[in-house]
A and B are shown apart, each in its own frame.
Chain A
Amino acid sequence: MVQGSPFTVQKLFMPGTGPRWLPYGVLILIVAAAPLVFSGRMSYYLSILSLAGIYAVVVIGLNMLMGYAGQISLGHAAFFAIGAYTSGILSTRYGLSPILCALPAVAAAGSVAVLIGIPTLKLKEHYLAMATLGFGIIMYTILRADPGSMTGGIQGMPNIPPLQILGHAADSDRAQYTIVWSTVILVFLFSTNILESRFGRALMAIHKSEVCAAVLGINVFGHKLQVFVLSALYAGFAGFLYAHCSPLKYLNPDDVAHVILSIKFVTMVVIGGMGNRWGALCGAVGLTVLPEVLRLMSSLLHGISSTDIEMACYGLILIMVMILSTRTRKRLLPIPAENTLTQHPIRQ
C-alpha cells in the first residue's frame, strides 16, 4: 500500500495494525448518515454529494493510472463524455431502458480507450499527457459540432430518463444519492482488490522504472494499456451515472467533455496524494463540495465573488500539496528513475 502522501487519511484510520475493515465501516457510516443530515429542504446538498460520487468513480480509476502506473492523462473527461453520451443517445433516441445503457456506455469508453491507448501509451511521460489532452479536445469539438445530429451540439441533450429500479423511477435526490454512493463503494472495493494483487504491484514497478519492470518479466506496454482501458471503463461508467443519476439529466459538451473537467479530475487525484485510494476519494468529494461551501460563505464576505475565492483556494491547495510533497520527498509527478539506461532509447 502506498504511504507517505500529503493527505494520508489512510494513516488516520489504519495506524499500522488493526482491523482492515475499519475505514470501510467509517465510509459506509458516513455515506449512510448523509441523507439523515441533509433531509427535507436541505436535500439539494445530496445532489451535490451525488455529483461528488460520480466524479469519485472517475478519480478512483484515474488514480490507478496516475498514482499507481505513473501515466498522466489529461483527457479523461472525454471517456466520461463517451459514457454519458452513449447512454444518453441510446435512452432518448432509441428508447432503451436506462439501466441497459450501462453496458454499451462502458463498452464504448473502453473500446475508444483501446484505440487511443495503443499508439499513445508508447509515448513517454509528458508526451502521453499531451496526446490525451489532444484527444480530449477533439472529443469536445466533435460533441459541440454534432456532425451526425445525435448529440444536440452546443444546445446539449435534455430530458434524459432517470434509472428505473424495480419499476420505480429513481429521480429524487435521495434515490440518486443512494444509487450513486452504493456504486461508489462497490467500485472502490473492486479497485482495492485489483490493486492489492500482482497487477497493482506491477503497476507500481512500472511507475518506478519501466526498464526494471520489463527485465523482471512484466509486459510494460500490456499493463499500461490494461490500466488505461480500465480507468476509461470507470470514467465511462461514471458518465452513464451522470446521464441518468444527476439532478439535471441534461448533457452538454461544456459540462461533460471540457478540458477543464479533465484537469479537475487530475487535480483531485493529486490532492488526494497520487496512489492513495482514500485520498482520491476525499479529493473528489472535497473539490466538488468546495464551491458550494464557498457559495455559502460568500454571503459573509460582502463584495467578493465565490468564484474568485474558489480559484484562490485551488491555488492555495496546489501550493500546499507542492510544499508537503517535497517535504515528504514524495514525487508529485512521475520523474524517470535515475537509471543510466534512460539515456538511450528503450524498446518496449
Chain B
Amino acid sequence: MALLVVSNLTKNFDGITAVSKVSFSVAQSEIFAIIGPNGAGKTTTFNLVSGVLAPDCGEIFFRGERISGLKPHEIALRGMVRTFQTISLFDTMTVLDNVKVGCHGQARTHIFSAAFRTRAFFEEEVRMTRTALETLRLLGLERRAHEMVGNLPFGQQRLVDIARALAGEPVLLLLDEPAAGMNARERSELMAIIRTLKQRGMTIVLIEHDMDLIMEIAERIIVLDHGEKIAEGKPEEIQRNPDVIAAYLGEA
C-alpha cells in the first residue's frame, strides 16, 4: 500500500486553476520528484498536501488515513513535514534552537512543568537537545550548533532548514527546491544526505529545478504543466517524453 495517495487534487485561485485533477502515489522509502516549468503548480501541490491550503476538490491519504481537511500541524504530527522554497529560519535563535523547534511535536511536557522546572521538563529538554544534535551531525552542522542561524552561509542555512524538518522524525519529508542557491559541493552533499535518509527508510518528495540532481537521485518523477499532470515515470522515461520536452521548450 502506498504511503501517500493523492487523487484528483484541484485548486483554483480567483478563477485561475493552479492545480487541476492531479493524482499520484508515493511508496514507502521512495525518492519522488515533482518537476515542471515555472507556475506549473508544484508548490501549490505541496501546500495542498501539507495542509497549508485547503483543496477545492480531491482527496489526500497518508498512511491510509484521509488527511485532506486537516490543519498543517495535525498533518505534521502524523509524520509529514515540509520545507519551504524561501528559507524561513527563526533568525532570533541559534542553529540548535531552530532545530529544537522541529522537535516540538514529539514533546509532551506543558507550560507548568517548564515554569516550575520539573524533572520531566529537564529530561525532555535533554532529549530534544540530543535529537537536535544528532540531526545536525547527520547534516554535518554539529560544530555550528551554537551560532546564531543568520551567521551561516546560505547553503548551510538550507541544511538547517532540512535539519529542523528532520528533527520532527517524519516518515515523509517534502522538500521544496532544496538545492536552490547551493554551490556544486553543497549540492553533492545534499544528494548524499537524501540518499542516507532513504536508506534509513524515509520517504522523500521533492520539487526541484536542478535537472541534473533530479535525474540522478529521483526514482520516480511526475511532470506538471499549467496545473495538470502531463507525465509520470522513471527519470529516463521522462527525459525521452515528447510532451515534457515540449512543455519545457515551449516555456523557453
Q: Within the complex, which residue of B43, B91, B111 is in contact with A194, where a contact is CB–CB below 8 Å?
A: B111
Residues of A within 8 A of B51 (CB): 214-215, 347
Given A212-B84, A347-B54, check contact A217 B92 (CB 8 Å): no
19 contacts between A and B (CB under 8 A): A196-B114, A197-B111, A197-B114, A201-B93, A205-B101, A208-B88, A208-B92, A214-B72, A215-B72, A215-B76, A216-B76, A217-B73, A217-B77, A217-B105, A218-B101, A218-B105, A338-B86, A344-B47, A344-B53
Q: Within 8 Å of chain B (Cβ to Cβ): is A113?
A: no
Produce 1/0 per residue, A32-46, CB < 8 A to B. 000000000000000
Whether A204 pairs with B168 at a CB distance below 8 angstroms is no
Q: Within 8 Å of chain B (Cβ to Cβ): is A199?
A: yes
Residue of A nearest to B94 (CB): A1
Produce 1/0 per residue, A187-224, CB < 8 A to B. 00010011011110110110011011111111110000
Shortest beta-carbon distance from A288 to chain B in Å: 26
Residues of A within 8 A of B75 (CB): 215
Shortest beta-carbon distance from B129 to chain A in Å: 11
Whether A199 pairs with B114 at a CB distance below 8 angstroms is yes
Whether B114 pairs with A215 at a CB distance below 8 angstroms is no
Q: Which residues 64-90 of B have a CB within 8 angstroms of A? A: 71-73, 75-77, 81-82, 84-86, 88-90
Residues of B within 8 A of A198 (CB): 100-101, 103-104, 107, 109, 114, 124-125, 128
B residues at A contact (CB < 8 Å): 13, 43, 47, 50-54, 71-73, 75-77, 81-82, 84-86, 88-93, 97, 100-105, 107, 109, 111, 114-117, 121, 124-125, 128, 164-165, 168
Known pairs A214-B52, A217-B105. 15 more at Cβ < 8 A? A193-B117, A198-B101, A198-B107, A198-B125, A202-B101, A205-B104, A211-B72, A212-B84, A215-B51, A215-B73, A216-B76, A217-B73, A341-B47, A341-B52, A347-B51
Shortest beta-carbon distance from A331 to chain B in Å: 10
Residue of B nearest to A338 (CB): B86
A residues at B contact (CB < 8 Å): 2-4, 190, 193-194, 196-199, 201-202, 204-205, 208-209, 211-220, 226, 230, 275, 337-341, 344, 346-348
Given A194-B114, A198-B104, A230-B111, check contact A216 B88 (CB 8 Å): no
Residue of A nearest to B18 (CB): A344
A255 vs B89: C-alpha distance in the bound complex, in angstroms? 42
Whether B104 pairs with A214 at a CB distance below 8 angstroms is no
Q: Within the complex, which residue of A193, A211, A337, A346 is in contact with B116, where a contact is CB–CB below 8 Å?
A: A193
- Counting chain A CB atoms within 10 Å of each CB, the highest count among B50, B72, B88, B91 belongs to B72
Given A208-B91, A340-B86, check contact A217 B168 (CB 8 Å): yes
Shortest beta-carbon distance from B47 to chain A in Å: 7
Whether B125 pairs with A197 at a CB distance below 8 angstroms is yes
Whether A218 pairs with B114 at a CB distance below 8 angstroms is no
Shortest beta-carbon distance from B213 to chain A in Å: 22
Q: Within the complex, which residue of A197, A230, A338 is in contact with B121, where a contact is CB–CB below 8 Å?
A: A197
Whether A205 pairs with B76 at a CB distance below 8 angstroms is no
Whether A216 pairs with B92 at a CB distance below 8 angstroms is no
Shortest beta-carbon distance from B93 to chain A in Å: 6
Residue of A nearest to B97 (CB): A201
A196 vs B116: C-alpha distance in the bound complex, in angstroms? 12
Whether A216 pairs with B105 at a CB distance below 8 angstroms is yes
Shortest beta-carbon distance from A321 to chain B in Å: 18
Whether B72 pairs with A204 at a CB distance below 8 angstroms is no
Instruction: Name the 6 nearest CB pairs between A and B, nearest first.
Output: A217-B105, A197-B114, A217-B76, A214-B72, A212-B88, A209-B88
Q: Within the complex, which residue of A3, A199, A202, A214 is in contact with B92, where a contact is CB–CB below 8 Å?
A: A3
Shortest beta-carbon distance from A337 to chain B in Å: 5
Shortest beta-carbon distance from B71 to chain A in Å: 6
Residues of A within 8 A of B82 (CB): 215
Given A190-B115, A216-B104, check contact A347 B71 (CB 8 Å): yes
- Counting chain B CB atoms within 10 Å of each CB, the highest count among A3, A196, A337, A347 belongs to A347
Residue of B nearest to A196 (CB): B114
A269 vs B165: C-alpha distance in the bound complex, in angstroms? 32
Residues of B within 8 A of A212 (CB): 84, 88
Q: Within the complex, which residue of A194, A208, A214, A347 is in contact with B76, where a contact is CB–CB below 8 Å?
A: A214
Residues of A within 8 A of B89 (CB): 208
Residues of A within 8 A of B165 (CB): 216
A194 vs B115: C-alpha distance in the bound complex, in angstroms? 5
